[in-house]
Structure 1
C-alpha cells in the first residue's frame, strides 16, 4: 500500500517514450474575444509526471479540463490512450474518463456526505456490480493509501484543507486510474502540508506507475514532482525542460518563476 514507505526522491526521467496523451493545436476562446488557448501542443509519455506552469488565466486548467471533456475546445486534437477524445461518443468518452483521475483544486467533496459516502458514491457510479462489502473494502484501502483511515466517518466540514485534498485524492485513486490530472494540488495549504501532498503524488507514481499532469504555482511542488516542465504563455507552450534546465533559462520571463 502507498503509505508503507515514503520515497521522496524522484526516479530518473521517465524512460518510456510511449505517448499516452497528445495534444495538437488546441484552441479555446471564451466569449467573443477572450482567447485563452492559441495552439497548445504537448505530449505526455507513459509513466511521466508533467508539470505545467503559467500565470493565472494562462489556460493551464482549461487545457486539462479539455482532456476529460469538461470543456470543449474550439479546435485541435486530443489523443488519450491513442483515441481522439473529441470524436468519441458519450459512452466511449465515459469509458476513457474512468481511466483518468481528476483532482480538483477544491477537492470537490460532497458536503452532505461523510468521507465513506463520498468514496462509496464514486464506486457505485462507475462499478455497479460491486457488493457492499467489496465497496467497503475499497473505501478502506483508498483511505489507508492516503493515511486517513481514521477519517472514514467524518464530514468534509470537519477536515482541514490538507485532509480534504487527501480525501479528494483517495476518491480519485479508488477507481485505479492510469492517468491523474492534478489541478493546483497544494493551493491554499501551508508549507509542510504542501510538501506532504507533493510526496504523496510521488508515492502514487512510484507505486501505481501512473502518468500525471500537474498544474501548479507551487515551485517546491514542481521541483519535487516534475520529470518535465512546460510553461504556458500567451496561449501556447513557451518553454519546456527539466526544473534544472528552466531554472537556468536565458529567457528572463521563464526564469522569473524560479526566483
Structure 2
C-alpha cells in the first residue's frame, strides 16, 4: 500500500492570478536507458480541469508526482502558486503542499483503520489545531459530500472498489485543497461506477472551486471531466485541445485515443 510521505503545515489561502501550475522543461529518467520525460511543458489555470492522456509508461503519473515531490525530476522548473517548488526550503514547500490534494491510483487507505480513523488520522497529522468535536464534524461533512456517511465505521476491506475511491477522495477533500491531482481515478472500476466517480470530480470542482490535473486512460472520464486535454508522446506534450478538437485531429496517432 502506498503511504503518505508528506508533512504539511497550515497555510492561509491566497487568491492567485494566472496559471496556478506551470511546468517547464521537465526531464526525468530512470537509469541510463529509460528516459520517461524529455522536456514536458504545461500550465493549468485556476479552476481548470486538465486531463493528461498517454500510453502506459509515457510518464503521466510521474509528471504529477513531481509536482508534490514524490518524484524528483532531473531537470526543469515546476511553479505552483507562483513558487518554484524545486528550490523551496522544506518549511516553504510544506506550505505549498498543504494546498494540494493527491488521489492515489490504488486509493492508499490504511487497511488496519476504519473509514473514520483513516480520515481522523489525516486531520491529526495535518490539522492538529482542531478539537475532537471539530474533527468529528469535518469527517461527517466530507463523508456526506461523497455520499458515504453510512460507511464511517467500515474497514477498507468491507468496501467495494468504487467506495474505496470515494473514501480516498474524502480523505483528500478533508484538508480543503485548492489543487487536486488525480492519478487514474477510475482505474479498475466498472463503467457505471467510473461514471459516478467522474461526476463526483465535477461536483468537487463546482462545490470547492478546485483546480485539477486528471491522469487517465478512461476516455469516458476524459470526455466528462476535461476542460482541456494534453497527450504525452515520447516524453513531451504531443497534442493539446478540447476533447472534440482532438477527436477530429488530423494526426492519426492522436485520433487513435478516441476510437
In the TM superposition, residue 98 of structure 1 has moved relative to its aligned partner by 1.0
* Secondary structure at the counterpart of residue 223 of structure 2: helix
CA distance in 1 between counterparts of 2:143 and 2:178 reads: 19
1:156 alignment partner in structure 2: 156
What CA deviation, in whole Å up to 9, does each residue of 1:136-188 have, x standing for no partner? 10011110000000000000000000000000000000000000000000000
CA RMSD, Structure 1 to Structure 2 (Å): 0.9
| Worse-superposed segment, 93-102 or 110-119 | 93-102
In the TM superposition, residue 97 of structure 1 has moved relative to its aligned partner by 1.1
Aligned residue runs from structure 1 range 152-191, under 5 A: 152-191=152-191
In the TM superposition, residue 96 of structure 1 has moved relative to its aligned partner by 1.0
Aligned residue runs from structure 1 range 136-151, under 5 A: 136-151=136-151
CA distance in 2 between counterparts of 1:85 and 1:191 reads: 37
1:111 alignment partner in structure 2: 111
2:8 alignment partner in structure 1: none
What CA deviation, in whole Å up to 9, does each residue of 1:23-59 have, x standing for no partner? 0000000012210000000000000000000000000
Extract structure 1 runs of 4+ deviating beyond 3 A.
none
What CA deviation, in whole Å up to 9, does each residue of 1:65-99 have, x standing for no partner? 00000000001000000000000111211111110
1:196 alignment partner in structure 2: 196
CA distance in 2 between counterparts of 1:95 and 1:89 reads: 10
* Secondary structure at the counterpart of residue 29 of structure 2: strand
What CA deviation, in whole Å up to 9, does each residue of 1:91-140 have, x standing for no partner? 21111111000000011000000000000000110111111111010011
2:256 alignment partner in structure 1: 256
1:92 alignment partner in structure 2: 92
| 2:233 equivalent to 1:233 | yes
CA distance in 2 between counterparts of 1:159 and 1:95 reads: 33
Report the TM-score when normalising by structure 2: 0.93
CA distance in 1 between counterparts of 2:82 and 2:160 reads: 39
1:221 alignment partner in structure 2: 221
* Secondary structure at the counterpart of residue 113 of structure 2: coil
| 2:74 equivalent to 1:66 | no
In the TM superposition, residue 246 of structure 1 has moved relative to its aligned partner by 0.1
CA distance in 1 between counterparts of 2:18 and 2:206 reads: 18
Aligned residue runs from structure 1 range 46-57, under 5 A: 46-57=46-57
Unaligned runs of 5+ in 2: 1-15
* Secondary structure at the counterpart of residue 113 of structure 1: coil
